[in-house]
Amino acid sequence: MVHLIDRRSSSRGRSAVNRERFLRRYKAHVQSAVRKLVGERRLADIEQGGDVHVPRKDIAEPSFGFGHGGDREFVLPGNREYVTGDRIPRPQGGGSGAGGGDGGDGDSEDAFVFSLSREEFMQIFFDDLELPRLARTELGRTEHRTSVRAGYARTGVPANLAIVRTLTQSLARRIAIDGSLRREAEDLERAFGAAAAAGRSAHAAHAYAELQRIERKLERVPFIDEPDLRYRNRVMRPEPVARAVMFCLMDVSASMDEDKKDLAKRFFTLLYLFLTRKYGEVDLVFIRHTEDAEEVDEDTFFHDTRSGGTVVYSALDLAEKIRGERYVRGWNVYVAQASDGDAFGADPARSARFLRDRLLPAARYYTYLELAAESDSGRSSTLWAEYARVATESGNLAMRRATRRDEIYPVFRELFRKDTQ
């Protein structure tokens, strides 16, 4: 009589959709929390989840209720010493006592705190970001194919049987075969009728036999025959894919002190996470430079400590060389450069010229992030000045400056904001 159901294996996370709605509604709070976290965290922990604080008054759901004031009585349990007529000083803070039976949720002003999972964190992190001007026109080297509908075929597996089409075929065939037979049958029937009416029994018997023969023939026409069968046909078509490569150029010269290096690494960590999460197929080339440039793997790029002088040109030259060797045709090329802009002598001008003539024409988008100490944030470097001149001429060079940790994330977002036209 009792109906016992084991629901343990059925859907969990029924509230996931509601949770997601909640996050969407408080997106602004969540985003500012993410920004703060990115600024505060150690590099290795950047992609962990984290706590978000939302002021309680922002998420209150209003309804008509009683405010403070007016006359009322309330009943409390646990009297020990009071007798009728005793006077109790009002509790401090304007509250009206311990509340009646209304559960006492307490109107504490503290924030509503909840944790974001790693996935949610990353999603918000990269919300509305994209690689600008990505062209999806080139045919990919990797065989990326999709299956598309391509009419009907006479052969195929039963699962692909196109029933309506098959029946249409069957109907057409039956009409074609039956038609003449049916007409013949009708004629014979008339002949039989006429013969029977006229009393010519031999004639009638002949017509009757003929009629029977044709009807047997009609019966043998199959409802669905092998030639009727039609199958949905699918073919594989190669898909144009966006192939992209990102060159990460980082200045690790001695003038880049620990703080600046931390800023640069933070920037590239964000870039790295963004690209590997959102664009699975993007190639990454890591180049670090002092007075000479070298290509390194990501581990060395992020964790090795090396330092020396500064020649920016060397990095640009190496990037261009690698591009010429590996990414010649059909690639979307992106470059991100981070430096403190401390370049000397002919280097800034030469770099800017090289950038304008060689790298920029080949690149879709070039970002330059200049890291400055807070003390000299107003002053621009020689490299910045040279680059700025190039930027006014060409549309695909974006430049930003960052001095503090918490600026990295906003700057990053600005650089890779989704184009909303």
Partner 1 sequence: MTALSHGADWDFELIERYDTAIAGVADEFGLDTYPNQIEIITSEQMLDAYASSGLPVGYPHWSYGKEFIRNEQAYRHGMQGLAYEIVINSDPCIAYLMEENTMAMQALVIAHACYGHNSFFKGNHLFRQWTSADAIVDYLVFARHYVMDCEERYGAAAVEEVLDACHALMAHGVDRYRRPAAPTLRAETARLKAREENRERQFNDLWRTLPGAPAAAASKAKREVFPPEPEENILYFVEKHSPKLEPWQRELVRIVRKLAQYFHPQGQTKVMNEGWATFWHYTILNRLHMKGLVDDAFMIEFLKSHTNVIAQPAFDSRGYGGINPYALGFALFSDIRRICERPDAEDRAWFPDLAGTDWRRSLDFAMRNFKDESFIAQYLSPRLMREFHLFAVADRVEDDALVVDSIHDEHGYRRLRRLLAAQYAIENRVPDVQVVRYDRDGDRSLTLRFARRRGRPLSDAAEEVVAHLHRLWGFAVRLETVDGDEQIGRALECAA
Closest CA relative to residue 121, chosen from 298, 283, 277: 277
Nearer to partner 1, 67 or 158 (CB): 67
Instruction: Candidates 62-70, 142-150, 326-334, 360-368: pick the segment binding partner 1 (CB under 8 A).
Output: 62-70
Binding residue for partner 1 (CB under 8 A) from 43, 44, 76, 254?
Answer: 76
* Touching partner 1, residues 93-112 (CB under 8 A): 96-104, 112
Nearer to partner 1, 65 or 378 (CB): 65
Decide if 290 contacts 306 (C-beta within 8 A).
Answer: yes
Q: How far is Cα 85 from Cα 77, in angstroms, rounded to an integer? A: 17
Quickly count: other Cβ atoms within 10 Å of residue 374's Cβ. 8
Q: Which residues on adjacent β-strands are paired with residue 235?
A: 148
The distance of closest approach from Cβ of residue 51 to partner 1 in the complex, given in angstroms and rounded to an integer, is 10
* Touching partner 1, residues 19-48 (CB under 8 A): 19-25
State whether residue 151 is helix, strand or coil. Answer: strand
Is 159 a residue that touches partner 1 (CB under 8 A)? no
**What is the amino acid identity at position 63?**
S
3-state SS string for 168-234: HHHHHHHHHHHHHHHHHHHHHHHHHHHHHHHCCHHHHHHHHHHHHHHHHHHHHCCCCCHHHCCEEEE
The distance of closest approach from Cβ of residue 116 to partner 1 in the complex, given in angstroms and rounded to an integer, is 10
* Touching partner 1, residues 222-281 (CB under 8 A): none
Binding residue for partner 1 (CB under 8 A) from 42, 79, 108, 226?
Answer: 79
Binding residue for partner 1 (CB under 8 A) from 75, 157, 159, 163?
Answer: 75
Is 5 a residue that touches partner 1 (CB under 8 A)? yes
Nearer to partner 1, 23 or 388 (CB): 23
Is 12 a residue that touches partner 1 (CB under 8 A)? yes
Supply φ then ψ for residue 325, to 5 degrees.
Answer: -80, -45
Binding site for partner 1 (CB under 8 A): 1-8, 12-15, 17-25, 59-80, 82-90, 96-104, 112-115
